Structure 1
Amino acid sequence: MTELAIETSGLVKSFGDNRAVDGLDLSVPAGIVYGVLGPNGAGKTTAVRMLATLLRPDGGQARVFGHDVRREADAVRARVSLTGQYASVDEDLSGMENLVLLARLLGHRKPAARDRARELLEAFGLTEAADRLVKNYSGGMRRRLDIAASILNTPDLLFLDEPTTGLDPRSRNQVWDIIRIVVAHGTTVLLTTQYLEEADRLAGRIAVIDHGKVIAEGTPGRLKSSIGAGAVHVRLRDAAQRPEAERLLSAALGTHVYLEADPVALTARVAGADNGERVAAEQASLALAELARAGIVVDDFSLGQPSLDEVFLALTDRPASEKEIAA
Structure 2
Amino acid sequence: MTGPVHPPYPVRRERFALRPVRVDDLDAVHAHRSLPEVARYLPHEPHTREMTADTLGRVIAGESLAEPGNWLDLAVEDASGRVVGEVLLKRDEQPLTGEVGFAFHPDVHGTGIATEAVAVTLDIAFDSFGWRRIVGICNVENTASAALMRRIGMRHEAVWRKESYAKGLWNNFQQFAVLDSEWRTSPPPSADERAIDGVARAFFDAFTRRAGEPVDLNGARRVLAPNAVIERVAEDGVVHRTDVDEFLAPRATLLNGPSLTDFREVEAAQTTIVAGERAVRTAQYFKYGVRDGEEFSAWGRKVMQLAVSASGDWLIETLTWTDEPEPAAMS
TM-score, scaled to structure 2: 0.31
Larger radius of gyration: 1
Which gives a bigger RCO, structure 1 or 2 (Cα 8 Å, sep 6+)? 1
> Is the helix fraction higher in 1 or 2?
1
